[in-house]
Structure 1
Amino acid sequence: MANVTDKTEVRSSGPRESGMNSFNLAGAGRLLARQGILVAFGVFMIGFTLANERFLDPDNIMGVIRSSAILGVMALGVTFVVISGNLDLSVGSMMSFATIVVLDLHDKIGPALAIPGMYAMVLCLGAFIGFLVGYLKLNSLIVTLGMLSAIHGLTLTYSGGKNMDIADKEGTWFSVFGQSDVLGIPVPILLFALVASVLGILLAKTPFGRKVYAVGGNGTAATFSGIRRARVVFTCYLLSAFCVATAGLLQASRSLGSQNTVGQGLELEVLAAVILGGASLLGGSGTIFKTVIGVLILGFIQNGLLLVGLQFYAQYVVTWVIIILAVWLDIAAKRGKLWSPIA
């Protein structure tokens, strides 16, 4: 009887162990699908630290965050657009326009009037895009892709194809936004943190934020629930334009001069940062806090690549790889599996 019992125990324990192993593997797969980009980031951080001891130097860390502030402010606004189920590929050319306009108006009417004047012009562009996507219900990818070229042409027309520089760089207070520190913390970082805090509260704690999630999650259901879908989308593009104008202000104040293509290509980096932060391209998910994390991930990866000796133009390839990885993990998180069950 003892032998029979022993055999029964052995036989019964086999399926249990197999089930536990399958459960652990499935759980690990789901965890990797949801947090895989953080795992990859941890691997990058360890590798960069081993490759160059300057990577974790406090000055380097502060420099990375400061240089990421402009991209980060833009990503905060795009987060609202993506959560609402849309895209905004015009932010790069719009940032170029904002930078050129505020520099030009600085010498013509002074910085006190140049800043609100620039904000008004950029917000008009954002309102136009919001009207086309929100009220006319045009495809956001097509609209913003077209506006990317249109705004770039507008920038070249406004500037006459020339770069902009402030005439009196020594006698202007305009540099305070991009070059000054407060208690040892650069102003761009403080502005980035301020905008992130305000928009984070707006998205997470207000009825408008809940409407953004509802519209992105299921626009038809949101409409039948009494939510004015067009107004929500319109407002999201206004917020995106406001953040782009703020980024243009930081860029212009930082250098007190700019090329008319300064924002070219930033739309892809902004989108990469937003998706890295967990916002879904399908809409309905994402947070401001995670977008900030995504911006920092992208910034530290690019900095680490430079410190290990990789040429700056190779970052474009790395950014592409990161976007593909982020989209793959995003879709994997939605279906709960890293690999599609359909071959």
Structure 2
Amino acid sequence: MAAMNRKDLGEFLAKQGILVAFAVFMIAFTMANQKFISIDNVFSVVRSSAILGIMAVGVTFVVISGNLDLSVGSMMSFSTIVVLDLHDKVGPALAIPLMFLMTLCLGAFIGFLVGYLRLNSLIVTLGMLSAIHGLTLTYSGGQNMDIADKEGTWFSVFGQGTALGIPVPILMFLAVAAFLGLVLARTPFGRKVYAVGGNGTAATFSGIRRARTVFTCYLISSGCVATAGLIQASRSLGSQNTVGQGLELEVLAAVILGGASLLGGSGTIFKTVIGVLILGFIQNGLLLMGLQFYVQFVVTWIIIILAVWLDIAAKRGKLWSSIA
């Protein structure tokens, strides 16, 4: 009985351990500072997590399909710089769709390489991380971007506006998550994504067009990146050309924390949102405890390692391998 209980506990911790850890963090942070669970702080955390969350929702499709996307950080920098630059040249009404089109083209190119040419997604997106960063610097001439007339533009509504007392970035995050959550869970395309990620060969023999499915997943990911770039640009009406640098690791951490497997075939949008909030609240709690912001990088690294360990443990049904 004791052995069975230990086995059950091991399986539970392997599958739900990160939620237990999150609960412990939440209790500890609340005890350290009562402001942690205040309404204002909760809204602040969710609002600041909206950009990361929208990007993570898109990457969830890619990961479930059995691939990776490490280009989202540099792609977000690109979309932010482009929309800010075009804002003053052609106006926000044209700048936004043009930015989306350009960002989707980048996603389509990656999707073509990974989906149709069957190139390794890690290598392709790692290379595109550098390539898109170089493209951003070339486009901007190495300069940061600012909107000239910050007081007379409606463009700020996406990052600074509110509706019904709720910040617009939160509403956009929830809308994107809800819509794509339904697409993934309730549509034939969503089932194809799971099938391709679970067993690509079997999916192909079942009549599923694997290449088209993977291509579409990267399009969805790039569309989410463009949305995140829009919010980032609108938030401050200006940006450095490296604003998205390093976000790809946080995005991947949030997706894996939410239960999506690096091996593909499993994960949900709802759990990805939970993973995003876990990162957001932990980082906020560290700041409220008086720790410096750079401590977040160490904690994020620890969380990534923990998430990968739990993912592998969940697959084999126990936390520790019996093979040394």
Q: TM-score range by the shorter chain?
A: over 0.9
Q: TM-score, structure 1 length as denominator? A: 0.94
- Aligned partner of 1:171 in structure 2 is 152
Using the alignment, how far apart are the partners of 1:83 and 1:176 within structure 2? Answer: 33
Please list the CA deviations of residues 297-331 of structure 1 after superposition, one character each: whole Å capped at 9, or x if unmatched.
Answer: 00000000111111111111110000000000000
| Residue correspondence of structure 1 range 73-112 to structure 2 within 5 A | 73-112=54-93
Paired position in structure 1 for 2:13: 32
Of 138, 146, 166, the match for 1:185: 166
From the CA coordinates, give the structure whose radius of gyration is larger: 1
Are 1:265 and 2:246 an aligned pair? yes
Q: Distance in 1 between matches of 2:30 and 2:177?
A: 28
Indicate the percent of aligned positions where both proteins have the same amino acid.
84
Amino acid at match of 1:271: L
Which one of 208, 226, 229 corresponds to residue 227 of structure 1?
208
Letter paired with 2:82: V
Shift of 1:153: 0.3
**Structure 1 segments of 4 or more deviating over 4 A?**
none
Q: Summarize deviations over 1:115-140 as a string: whole Å, max 9, x none.
A: 00000000000000000000000000
Q: Which amino acid counterpart does residue 326 of structure 1 have in structure 2?
A: A
Alignment of 1:1-343 (within 5 A): 20-343=1-324
Structure 2's unaligned 5+ residue stretches are none
The whole-number CA distance in structure 1 between the counterparts of 2:289 and 2:282 is 11
Q: Deviations over 1:267-314 (max 9, x none)?
A: 000000000000000000000000000000000000001111111111
In 2, Cα distance between equivalents of 1:196 and 1:47: 29
TM-score, normalization: structure 2?
1.00
Per-residue CA distance 1:133-156 (angstroms, 9 max, x = gap): 000000000000000000000000
For the residues of structure 1 that align with 2:124 and 2:3, how far apart are their CA atoms? Answer: 46
**Which digits, 9 at most, give the CA deviation of each residue in 1:253-276, with x for residues without a partner?**
011000000000000000000000
Task: Point out where structure 1 has 5 or more consecutive residues left out of the alignment.
Answer: 1-19
RMSD: 0.4
Q: Deviation at 1:229?
A: 0.2
1:52 deviation in Å?
Answer: 1.1
Indicate the residue corresponding to 1:4 in structure 2.
none
Q: Deviations over 1:44-81 (max 9, x none)?
A: 01111111111111100100000000000000000000
1:24 to partner: Cα distance: 1.1
Q: Which amino acid letter does the alignment assign opposite residue 97 of structure 1?
A: F
- Alpha-carbon distance between aligned partners in 1 of 2:298 and 2:116, rounded to the nearest angstrom: 37
Structure 1 residue 202, shift from structure 2 partner? 0.3
**Aligned AA (1:300):** F
The AA in structure 1 aligned to 2:179 is V
Partners in 2 of 1:269 and 1:76 — Cα distance? 12
Query: 3-state SS of the aligned residue for 1:77?
Result: helix
The total of aligned residue pairs comes to 324
